[in-house]
């Protein structure tokens, strides 16, 4: 027997959970919501016991033949919140207007100002810690929590770059909340030993206990069912059986691998569907300091440098967000143990159609990633670093530094593949994340990002979900 | 009486021979240590690496033995192979891991104090044990 729902939501990560929170807030007591999650409910205790973010291996859920490039996500209730490092910068205003400001990439069909209110709301839910003593982007409200403690190298960088160096905004609790203790800088944030970082399970689990919500775990959505230009429901697999559910509204909140996969299998073809898979590209520098100890900060990553982020250089090469790491990395020299600083440089990438997600030929139930490499634009950013770094480090008493220019294999972000835009010929969803052809179908998440920004995407994913819900329900 | 003396002498000789044999076996097997504190080649390697790299610190042997055993419990076979092969990065990792597991940094890196082992540094076994982090 088929059941009818007001809304069917696919996935339980940031996008889905923030959308659901706004939906339930605005809905009456009779609302009926079906939530389909491919993973299980792996409690924090279970994850600690097994030292694993999920009881399901993410690699088993998609095909990736390019072993040099990893795409990381966590199947399970709460999705990526179970493995993120809780880094919550906003995007800069220019990130939404790369084409008009710098002549590269695309403009977003919405501006920073459009999202500002929703950034604030998402920060409230996550109890984000940050400094109001100057921020790189305009804010209408103070951060919900005060900033974490800087390390001593952070203080020197702040003194040298007062307008460009800040406390890292983070959902690693600076103060205990009702559900979480304060962070104590254990340095293994992908699975916090004391559950101090925000996760869907520790702060938003109430959503999935709401009597209006029916949640089905281990349910893998196959396709969105449509009639003409209307979504009528979804078809999913549960316990080896195919199940259909009818809904007035369908919301895809899986990640940027699975949202396009579902749409491709639904026959909603588009020349750009699944295309422009990308994420940031990062390199690291290890800096030996003369007489300055490090690691006094109160959390794993303490500083954010915007010295190479925004500016005219973005017309030529990628912008970069700098992270200052406070996880102890000892310098094994007598008396100089703590005189070391590790900086991570996260460069934006420009989306390219050569990188994409498709339906796997032999097993259509799985998406397959095809990745041929990051852009020349990102590489030019990396290539400029050896020249820029010495001057940048003038703020510190540097003995020597080593820059490892080999990019990491993943940033744990998955961007692009269901891009948003005003033109239905050039995009999959509109500015409110509504599918251009099927108007009762929303496609949430970082797949909608027209450009990636150097900044971590999660806060923007969450704010966009609130923005989409606000538009839909008001 | 003569028989008794002979029996006593025989028993004494037997006891002496058994004792000497036992001593010989113990000495050859355990090198003079009791079985409980016998150092395996693995432990010897860990201790010698730590002593070599931290020769200016007074490292408590019992703590290093405990550290080596805690490492072994974690079945770090690759680590052992690399350490045996003289890999410098692995040796550095070992030294860092030992120092983070010790009271050295809790004592403000005071080189005049003996360095004791506090327990294997693993945030999942001992959360909030980062010796440097300062809460706000």
List pLDDT tens digits, range A111-147. Answer: 999 999 999 999 999 999 999 888 999 999 999 999 9
Which tokens go with A7?
A: 């809304």
Task: Count other C-beta atoms under 10 Å from residue A437's C-beta.
Answer: 16
Angle at B60 between CA B55 and CA B65, to 5 degrees: 105
Closest among A250, A241, A257 to A223, alpha carbons compared: A250
Angle at A53 between CA A20 and CA A66, to 5 degrees: 100
**Higher-confidence position of A249 and B17:** A249
Mean pLDDT of A330-354: 96
Mean pLDDT of A323-332: 96
Q: Quote the number of domains for chain B.
A: 1
Asked if the structure places residue B10 within a domain, the reply is no
Asked if the structure places residue B60 within a domain, the reply is yes
Q: What is the model's pLDDT at position B134?
A: 86
Closest among A90, A176, A174 to A136, alpha carbons compared: A90
Q: What is the model's pLDDT at position B35?
A: 47
Q: What is the model's pLDDT at position A95?
A: 98
Asked if the structure places residue B59 within a domain, the reply is yes
| Residue A203: its H or E element | helix A200-203
Which tokens go with B130?
A: 């980062």
Mean pLDDT of A283-295: 97
Q: What is the DSSP string of A32-56?
A: -EEEEESS----HHHHHHHT-S-SS
* Interface contacts (A, B; CB < 8 Å): 67
pLDDT band at A345 (very low <50, low <70, confident <90, very high): very high
Question: Under a CB-based contact definition with an 8 Å cutoff, are residues A216 and A11 in contact?
Answer: no
Which tokens go with B71?
A: 């490492």
Mean pLDDT of A321-339: 96
> Domain residues for B73?
36-136
Say which residues have a Cβ less than 8 Å from residue A34's Cβ, sequence separation at least 6.
Answer: A3, A5, A7, A8, A9, A213, A214, A215, A216, A245, A247
- Residues of A within 8 A of B131 (CB-CB) are 328
Each residue of A407-429: b (16+ CB within 10 Å) or e? beeebbbbbbbbbbbeeeeebbb
- Residues of A within 8 A of B95 (CB-CB) are 332
CB-nearest to B123 from A193, A294, A296 is A193
Could you tell me how far CA A421 lies from the centroid of its own chain? 20
Distance (Å, whole) CA A109 – CA A114 = 10
The residue in chain B having the minimum alpha-carbon distance to the alpha carbon of residue A331 is B96
Find the DSSP H helices in A297-392. 376-392
Question: Under a CB-based contact definition with an 8 Å cutoff, are residues A414 and A64 in contact?
Answer: no
Mean pLDDT of A209-228: 97
Asked if the structure places residue B11 within a domain, the reply is no
Mean pLDDT, each 10-residue run in order, chain B (136 residues): 62 69 56 58 91 96 94 81 89 95 96 96 94 86
- Residues of B within 8 A of A167 (CB-CB) are none
CB-nearest to B132 from A191, A332, A338 is A338
Average pLDDT, rounded, for chain A:
97
B75 and chain A in contact, CB less than 8 A:
no
Give first-to-last CA distance, chain A, whole Å.
Answer: 33
Say which residues have a Cβ less than 8 Å from residue A215's Cβ, sequence separation at least 6.
Answer: A12, A34, A35, A36, A37, A77, A208
Asked if the structure places residue B8 within a domain, the reply is no
User: A420 by DSSP, 3-state: which?
Assistant: strand
A468 Ramachandran zone, left/alpha/beta (phi>0; psi -120 to 50): alpha
The residue in chain B having the minimum alpha-carbon distance to the alpha carbon of residue A293 is B132
Question: Under a CB-based contact definition with an 8 Å cutoff, are residues B57 and B46 in contact?
Answer: no
Please report the residues numbered 88 through 117 in chain B whose beta carbons come closer than 8 angstroms to any beta carbon of chain A.
Answer: 92, 95-96, 99-100, 105, 109, 111
Asked if the structure places residue B129 within a domain, the reply is yes
Q: What is the model's pLDDT at position B20?
A: 64
Task: Count other C-beta atoms under 10 Å from residue B62's C-beta.
Answer: 11
Give tens-digit pLDDT for A356-396: 999 999 999 999 999 999 999 999 999 999 999 999 999 99
- Residues of B within 8 A of A148 (CB-CB) are 136
The answer to whether B96 contacts A330, with C-beta atoms less than 8 Å apart, is yes
- Residues of B within 8 A of A51 (CB-CB) are 124
Task: Count other C-beta atoms under 10 Å from residue A72's C-beta.
Answer: 17
Asked if the structure places residue B17 within a domain, the reply is no
Q: What is the model's pLDDT at position B74?
A: 83
A298 and chain B in contact, CB less than 8 A:
yes
Asked if the structure places residue B22 within a domain, the reply is no
């Amino acid at each position: 027997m088929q059941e009818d729902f007001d809304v069917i939501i696919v996935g339980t990560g940031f996008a889905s959970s923030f959308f659901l929170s706004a939906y339930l807030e605005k809905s009456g007591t009779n609302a009926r919501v079906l939530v389909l999650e491919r993973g299980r409910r792996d409690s924090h205790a279970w994850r600690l016991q097994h030292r694993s973010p999920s009881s399901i291996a993410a690699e088993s859920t998609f095909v990736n033949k390019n072993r040099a490039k990893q795409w990381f996500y966590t199947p399970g209730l709460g999705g990526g919140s179970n493995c993120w490092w809780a880094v919550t910068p906003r995007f800069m205003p220019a990130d939404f207007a790369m084409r008009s400001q710098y002549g590269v990439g695309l403009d977003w069909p919405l501006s920073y100002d459009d999202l500002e209110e929703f950034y604030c709301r998402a920060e409230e839910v996550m109890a984000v810690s940050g400094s109001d003593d100057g921020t790189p982007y305009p804010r209408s409200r103070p951060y919900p929590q005060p900033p974490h403690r800087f390390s001593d190298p952070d203080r020197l960088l702040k003194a040298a770059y007062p307008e460009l160096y800040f406390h890292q905004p983070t959902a690693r609790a600076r103060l205990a909340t009702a559900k979480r203790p304060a962070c104590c800088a254990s340095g293994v944030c992908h699975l916090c030993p004391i559950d101090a970082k925000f996760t869907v399970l520790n702060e938003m689990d109430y959503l999935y206990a709401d009597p209006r919500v029916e949640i089905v775990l281990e349910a893998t959505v196959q396709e969105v069912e449509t009639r003409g230009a209307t979504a009528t429901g979804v078809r999913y697999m549960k316990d080896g059986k195919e199940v259909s559910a009818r809904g007035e509204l369908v919301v895809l909140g899986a990640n940027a691998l699975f949202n396009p996969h579902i749409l491709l299998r639904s026959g909603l073809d588009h020349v750009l569907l699944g295309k422009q898979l990308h994420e940031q590209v990062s390199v690291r520098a290890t800096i030996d300091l003369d007489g300055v100890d490090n690691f006094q900060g109160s959390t794993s990553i303490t500083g954010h440098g915007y010295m190479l982020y925004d500016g005219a250089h973005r017309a030529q090469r990628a912008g970069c967000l700098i992270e200052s790491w406070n996880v102890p990395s000892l310098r094994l020299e007598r008396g100089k143990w703590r005189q070391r600083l590790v900086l991570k440089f996260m460069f934006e990438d420009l989306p390219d159609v050569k990188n994409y997600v498709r339906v796997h030929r032999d097993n259509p139930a799985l998406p397959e990633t095809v990745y041929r490499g990051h852009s020349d634009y990102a590489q030019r950013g990396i290539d400029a670093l050896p020249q820029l770094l010495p001057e940048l480090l003038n703020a510190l008493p540097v003995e020597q530094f080593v820059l490892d220019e080999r990019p990491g294999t993943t940033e744990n972000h998955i961007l692009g593949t269901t891009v948003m835009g005003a033109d239905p010929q050039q995009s999959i969803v509109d500015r409110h994340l509504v599918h251009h052809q099927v108007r009762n179908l929303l496609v949430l998440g970082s797949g909608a990002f027209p450009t990636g920004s150097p900044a971590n995407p999660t806060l923007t994913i969450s704010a966009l979900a609130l923005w989409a819900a606000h538009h839909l329900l008001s | 009486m003569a028989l008794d003396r002979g029996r006593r002498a025989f028993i004494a000789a037997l006891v002496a021979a058994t004792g000497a044999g036992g001593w010989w076996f113990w000495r050859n097997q355990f090198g003079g240590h009791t079985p409980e504190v016998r150092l395996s080649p693995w432990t010897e390697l860990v201790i010698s690496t730590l002593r070599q790299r931290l020769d200016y610190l007074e490292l408590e042997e019992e703590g290093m033995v405990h550290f080596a055993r805690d490492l072994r419990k974690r079945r770090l076979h690759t680590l052992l192979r690399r350490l045996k092969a003289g890999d410098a990065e692995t040796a550095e990792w070992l030294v860092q891991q030992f120092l983070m597991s010790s009271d050295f940094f809790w004592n403000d890196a005071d080189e005049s104090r003996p360095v004791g082992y506090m327990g294997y540094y693993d945030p999942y076994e001992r959360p909030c044990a980062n010796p440097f982090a300062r809460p706000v």
